Amino acid sequence: MDKPAKKIWFPAKRYGWGWGPPNCWQGWMVIGLWTLLIAAGVPLAKPSPYLYLGFILVMIAGLMTVCYLKGEKPRWRWGKD
């Protein structure tokens, strides 16, 4: 029996490295939640620039992890290759 195909939330960009905009509601939900968490964390991390930088780096790492797990394998692309 064949394995079901993995549903891609974040397709690869056509040019360059990385992922493009989401192509399903789950991906858009991740982006929306991520944006809300960033906005909510700004006032909490305001007293210290180091706390704010750490918060932003953790949030970026989290988003990249989700993109890596639920997106196409990242590699350099140039057009249709």
Q: What is the pLDDT of residues 54-78, one digit of tens each?
A: 989 999 999 999 999 999 888 888 8
Which runs of consecutive H residues, i.e. helices, occur in the chain?
Answer: 25-45, 49-70
Mapped onto helix, strand or coil, the DSSP state of residue 12 is: strand
Residue 67 domain flag:
yes
Q: Is 13 exposed, middle or buried (0-12, 13-18, 19+ CB in 10 A)?
A: middle
Residue 36 lies in a domain: no
In a domain, 50, yes or no: yes
For residue 9, tell me if it sits in a domain: no
State the residue range of the domain holding 61.
42-71
Supply the pLDDT for residue 73.
87
Q: Is 66 within the bounds of a domain?
A: yes
In a domain, 63, yes or no: yes
pLDDT score at 2: 59
Domains held by the chain: number: 1
pLDDT at position 1 over 60 = no
